């Protein structure tokens, strides 16, 4: 199942009156993401700086980057879904050009997650941007 676009996610979140409902929506997004093959749960794919275990596998296909992501925490899988809506199946240049900070601000996300989750989210984004920078070379 394909994740909704960033615009669709922002539009969907407007319907919810409080953050408890938004959290449920974000968790549901994470549960809809395809499961990562456990063989990819390796140290090399583990994102450092996250409170929970987060793995990212990247595969270049036809000039675009395909990401497989996973976490052992359900809310983090939801946060990964938000990030994948922005980055998955894009060219390295599109990934580098996307204003993720503006997207997070529009989601009003960082005020509603713990500082350690916020740090983890930034580590995930940094890792993906590193992949995109390396793929552009």
pLDDT in tens, 4-22: 999 999 999 999 989 999 9
Domain assignment of residue 108, yes or no:
yes
Domain assignment of residue 41, yes or no:
yes
In sequence order, which ranges of 4-98 are alpha helices (DSSP H)? Answer: 6-14, 19-32, 74-87, 92-97
Structure tokens at 23: 């959290």
Q: Look at the chain and report how many structural domains it folds into.
A: 1
**Mean pLDDT, rounded, of the chain:** 93
In a 10 Å sphere around its CB, with 0-12 CB exposed, 13-18 middle and 19+ buried, how is residue 76 labelled? Answer: buried
- Greater model confidence, 111 or 104: 104
CATH number of the structural domain spanning residue 107: 3.90.1010.10
Domain assignment of residue 1, yes or no:
no
Q: Exactly one of 3, 50, 56, 121 is catalytic; which is it?
A: 50
| Domain limits for position 122 | 6-136
- 135 catalytic residue (yes or no): no
């Amino acid at each position: 199942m394909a994740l909704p676009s960033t615009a669709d996610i922002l539009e969907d979140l407007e319907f919810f009156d409080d953050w408890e409902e938004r959290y449920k929506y974000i968790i549901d997004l994470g549960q809809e993401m395809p499961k990562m093959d456990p063989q990819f749960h390796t140290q090399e794919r583990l994102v450092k700086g996250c409170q929970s275990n987060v793995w990212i596998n990247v595969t270049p296909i036809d000039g675009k980057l395909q990401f497989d992501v996973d976490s052992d925490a359900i809310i983090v899988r939801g946060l990964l879904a938000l990030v994948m809506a922005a980055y998955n199946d894009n060219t390295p240049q599109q990934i580098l050009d996307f204003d993720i900070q503006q997207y997070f601000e529009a989601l009003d996300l960082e005020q509603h997650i713990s500082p350690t989750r916020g740090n983890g989210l930034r580590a995930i984004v940094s890792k993906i941007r590193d992949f995109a920078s390396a793929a552009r070379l």
